Amino acid sequence: MASPSTQRILELAHAEGFDLASLAPLTAPPRGEEYGRYLDAGRHADMDWMERSRERVQDPHKTLPAGRSILALGLGFSRPEAPQTPGGTVARYAAGRDYHNLVGKKLKRLTRKLREEELVSEARWIVDAGPILERSHAAQAGLGFESKATNLLHPLFGPWFFLAEILIDAEVEGPTSPPVDITCGTCTACLDACPTGALVAPGELDARLCISYQTIENRGTIPEELRPQLEGWLFGCDICSEVCPFGHDTPNLTERFGLHPALEHTGLETLVDLSEEEFAKVFEGSPLRRPGRAGLARNAALLLGNEPGDKGPDALLHALAADPSPVVREAAAWSLERAFGEDARVRAALDQVAR
Ligand code: B12
């Protein structure tokens, strides 16, 4: 039987709207060594902050020296349809309001309540980019099981839930949730489906090959060999989640994050040509701001090279001639060559920039 204070902490977490909450003693993450191997192999690509966080990830007491326990939290975001912009697909987690803001506000309020009720005195909340191995701690706390796609899976939400944590100085006995005693078994659907082979072994992902990394985090050019395999993904990629049998029968939580209006109206040609000001306005409050105007324009340009649609080469020609970013100009040149290389106007423009 959990102590009254443990029960109260979990009650407050659920009252704040988290679907999943579990308390566990704060230890090093069970997958800390794998994190080190991942970095040593360069699988984090140019996400240098992951290297900078190495020591704090492997020892969370460096983040909160007084930390004794971790409150592991989960919030579902399952929705039935992959949201489309005209011409490109957006990862489901990013279809509506930015979860970093929404979950961050919940964590802030919850931490304040824990302090007010004197359940904790020192606490530090974290979501996503903080120095912690979220899936490993959450698995240990009983929020789900680690899959071959590296995602944490839950019997109800499949891979479609966010993670967050609060490190606290209160001692608890735990984990308060039993381990989720399920494995992927013999299923290899995610490994088989990934078009770029980013899942290099069960439970191991190489971000350099991952469409999600390339379309969200990479600020430079996307390697040429990966471009034809983007499979229409404008921002992020859900292929390993979509094929996962655990993700198929999940609740429809579309209303939680909604659908950002930009996704309904902004086609690829428009995205290639947006100015910085227009981009900031159109994508206000959306996770699609993450790669920046140039990153999203680059992605849209490459998708047009794979599937040009019926609007012709004008948007790409304009980007080639006038985009301030060399990354976007290079993507436009690649796509013009690939999709419209026979067109005399396009040939002339490409010859001009080659000179
Ligand atoms: C960097 C990062 C990325 C990078 C690299 C991802 C990666 N797999 O390494 C990129 C940009 C590619 C990315 C993509 C995505 N991400 Co991300 N990402 C992170 C971040 C910030 C750090 C991840 C990390 O440390 N990776 C290093 C590796 C070593 O750790 P890991 O990814 O946790 O992998 C686990 C497995 O490798 C497992 N493992 C190791 N060996 C073995 C062996 C076997 C047999 C098995 C089964 C497992 C296993 O141990 C690790 C820990 O549990 C976390 C937030 C956080 N602070 O943890 C979010 C996070 C993991 N991402 C998240 C999401 C939603 C995504 C995307 C689905 C987004 C999208 N649709 O485009 C994709 C999914 C791609 C994928 N299959 O991972 C969620 C995942 C939620 C969940 N239920 O799992 C997190 C937790 C963010 C959040 N707060 O909710 N992400």
Taking only the tens place, the pLDDT of each residue in 172-189 is: 988 999 999 999 999 999
User: Quick one: pLDDT at residue 331?
Assistant: 98
The residues, ordered by sequence, that sit 6+ positions from 6 with a Cβ below 8 Å of its Cβ are 23, 172, 173, 174, 176
What is the domain partition of the chain in residue ranges? 1-220+239-258, 260-355
Residue 127 CB less than 6 A away from ligand 1:
yes
Q: List, for residues 68-117, the tens digit of each pLDDT value.
A: 999 999 999 999 887 777 789 999 999 999 999 999 999 999 999 999 99
Residue 2 burial by Cβ neighbours in a 10 Å radius (0-12, 13-18, 19+): middle
The residues, ordered by sequence, that sit 6+ positions from 61 with a Cβ below 8 Å of its Cβ are 26, 67
Between CA 154 and CA 139 the distance in angstroms is 10
pTM, two decimals, is: 0.97
Ligand 1 atom, smallest distance to 237 CA: 72
User: Quick one: pLDDT at residue 7?
Assistant: 96
Residue nearest to atom 25 of ligand 1 (CA): 133
Residue 140 CB less than 6 A away from ligand 1:
no
* Token code pair at residue 333: 């040149």
Residue 104 CB less than 6 A away from ligand 1:
no
Q: State CA 331 to chain mean position distance.
A: 23
The one catalytic residue among 40, 128, 192, 314: 128
User: Quick one: pLDDT at residue 265?
Assistant: 79
φ and ψ at residue 36, rounded to 5 degrees: -60, -45
Strands (E), 94-185: 123-126, 145-146, 152-153, 161-168
pLDDT by residue for the chain (355 residues), tens digit each?
689 899 999 999 999 999 999 999 999 999 999 999 999 999 999 999 999 999 999 999 999 999 999 999 999 999 988 777 778 999 999 999 999 999 999 999 999 999 999 999 999 999 998 999 999 999 999 999 999 999 999 999 999 999 999 999 999 988 999 999 999 999 999 999 999 999 999 999 999 999 999 999 999 999 999 999 999 999 999 999 999 999 999 999 999 999 999 998 789 999 999 999 999 999 999 999 999 999 999 999 999 999 998 999 999 999 999 999 999 999 999 999 999 999 999 999 999 998 8
Q: In angstroms, how far apart are the furthest CA atoms of the chain?
A: 77
User: Quick one: pLDDT at residue 1?
Assistant: 67
Q: What do you get for the CA distance between the two ends of the chain, in Å?
A: 76
* Token code pair at residue 151: 């995602």
Amino acid at site 350: L
* Token code pair at residue 71: 């409150």
Best of 106, 150, 257 to mutate for ligand 1, by most ligand atoms within 8 A of CB?
Answer: 150
Closest by CA to 129, choosing from 61, 57, 70, is 57
Residue 91 CB less than 6 A away from ligand 1:
yes
Between CA 237 and CA 89 the distance in angstroms is 8
Residue 215 CB less than 6 A away from ligand 1:
no
